[in-house]
Every structure is written in structure tokens, then in C-alpha cells.
Structure 1
Amino acid sequence: MRKIRQHVNPLSAHFMRERAQPVARPPGLALDCAVEVELGCADAEFSFARAAARADMLMVGLDIREPCLARNRVRAADEGLLNLLFGYVNLNVDIDRVFAPASVDRFHLLFPDPWVKKSHHKRRVIEPALVASLTTQLRPGGELHVASDVFDVALEIMSTVEDPALAHLGLANLAGPWGFWRDNPFAESSRREQTTLRRQQRVWRMRYVRSDMALAPGI
């Protein structure tokens, strides 16, 4: 099996052209079913487990690496997961093309690439424009769930989301301002989280909810 390149530069010219496509809801799901999205899904272990556990929910995995998406689609078909879809996106370029406003119940951003070299920090995914786009696509009461095993990355994400300049977006930290959510509130976990916990390392987790309404019931 051909190895998929782990890192791609999202700022390269190849990826800066808008070409993400809207998600087409598969038949068989209720029009008002819950919609959850794993951003930068990679091998999508979290998405596969979540879709298998919630057959009444639409689960969508998005990534910039199209060979990875192709493999995930084959696996989803093999496992009969009709409620699991995969699509291309460059999060900082064309996420607005994928979902309509107020149509997503929960975004999961799990262990984004830390881009450790200082010269690569500009490639990190969370920036104010993305936070604004994700908030627009969340339904009232929807959630942005973030996890990282790198404290500096988690703190940078927190400082971006909780910047007073973005207070108008209405995202509230469920653990309180500048607070981390200690445990995984979901039964499912990504491969990276499983590895991190086996190494007895800390997962830095944040949960932000649109504060204009209560969080949608049930996780």
C-alpha cells in the first residue's frame, strides 16, 4: 500500500485555489439529523467510530490530502457506513464552500499539525478568520471541540478563540474562560489520542459552544 504523505504545505499555490465542494446529504438520513465534522481527519479513526455509534447522524471527515480521503471512502463503503462522508478542504481557504450557515452541530479539531519549526507557525490552522467561518456554520448551541497534545498549540488556539476581538462571535468556553476540559466527553477517540494516553501524556482539550442557545442535547 502506497504511503500517504503526512505533511503538506497548505500555503502552497496548489492548495490556495478554492475547490472544496458542498457536502451532499446521503439518502436515508432525516433532514434534521445531527451533523458532526472532523476537521483534518487524516485516517479518521474518530469519525469511523462516531459514525458507527450514531447511525442516525451524518458524520463528515474533511482533509487536505486527497489520497487519504480516497482510502477513507473505500473503508467507509467496506464497512457499510452510509452516514459517513469525506471531502477535500483547505480549512483556511474554502471551508465556507462546504456547509451552509447554521447547518453543523459540532466541529471536531483533533490534534492539528503543530508545525513545530518557528518558520512554519504560519501554517497552523487556527486563525481568526477560520474561527469566524466555523462559528457561522454552527447551529445555535453548536460546539467547537478541540484537542491537542502540544500545550503551546492548545494555548495558541485558546488565545485565538478567546481573543476579545472575537467576542462578538458568541463562543463560550464550557470549562470557563481560559479553562481546559479535562476528560474526553465522547466515547470515541482518535488514533493520536489513544497513542498520547498510552504514553501517559496530557491531552489539552477545549469545548466552545455558541452561547446564544444551550448546547444541543446528547453527545
Structure 2
Amino acid sequence: MEDAVKRPYKSRVRAAAAAEKRAAIRTAAMDLFLQKGYSATTLKEVAARAGVGERTLYDGFPTKGALFEHVAAVAITGDEEPVALADRPEFQAALTERDPHRAVALYAAYSAEVLERAAPLINVAIESAGADPVLRRFSDQGAAATRANTRAFVDSLVKHRLLEGDPEDLAMAAFALVVPLVHQQMRRDLGWSAQRYQRWLESSLARILLGR
């Protein structure tokens, strides 16, 4: 009985230690990708900055592309759970909200939250996509997912009879507002605060989708 108690405890300790190492690797990798770019960053540098052995890093992430995709996926979703943005409660709340202004506010808030975490890293991928097939695939898939999610939100408003107009045109107009480049131009280049960007996004989406 004592051994049975010790085993789950040891398993929890090992799992916690592994999660701590992954978090350190993610932090180091993101810092380097943002500082130096994807091409100039090496796995050896990531391991050194994270304070882990190169073998440990390679065991979890055998290629730089695999590491980038992991870091980006966690930045986008906010955790390591294999749940797509479209299936997250925050996004579903925007889809089911019957008040149009509240629905837009929920969608804008969640979009801004995701972009705040992930837009800088996504832009690194976009900048390097032409020279790396892994990043090109990541960038293409990310853009497609954002378009699909935006269209799903617009379709939910149409379904609930909260707006009128061509869903495709409205979805593409909304999509143009939530791309990472726009977020970065306002947050980094114009020096806007995260709160100001979210307010702008909400009011712009309301004008485009609701006409006010």
C-alpha cells in the first residue's frame, strides 16, 4: 500500500518538474525568437538560456520548427491543453450571446487577449515563412483558422438575426481588423496600450458589423 501511495506522488513530482522545464524552454525560445528572429536562433542557445541540457531539449523538440510550433501554440491558446481557440469557452460565449453589442465586445476582448500573447511571435513566423516550409505552413494554417473563426462569429450573428448583409464580406472586413500585423502596428509602432487597442477593436468591429 505504501508503494502504491509513493508512485502517484513521484509521478506528480516528475510531471511538475517536466512542466517547469517546458515552461523554461518556452520562455527562453520566445525571448530568442523575438530578439534574434527565427533563422538566427539556435537550439543550443535556447537550451543554454533555459538552463537545460541540449539532450533534454532535443528529447522534447527534435527540430527548431517543432519547438517554434509548440511555443506559438501555447502563446495562442494560453496553455498546453489541446483545445482549439474555436472550442474555448471565451469564444463560444461570443457565439451564443444574443445581444449584438455584448457579442462584439466578447469577441473583441478575446481576440485582443490572444493577439496580446501571440501576435509578436506570429509575425516572426510570417516574416520567415518565405524561407522555411514549417513556418509557411504554420502561417497559412493560422490565417485560415482566424478567417474560419471570424466567419463563425459573423455567422452566429446572422443566425441570431443580429445583423444583415453578406456574411462573407462582413467576415473578411472583420478579419482584416484582427490580423497580427495590425495589432503590432498599433501596439508597437504607435505605442498604444493593450486597453486602447481593445477599445479600438471593439468600436471598429461594431461599426463594421452593426453599423454603429
The TM-score with structure 2 as length reference comes to 0.30
Which entry has the higher C-alpha Rg, 1 or 2?
2
Of Structure 1 and Structure 2, the greater helix share is in: 2
TM-score of the aligned structures, taking structure 1 as reference length: 0.29
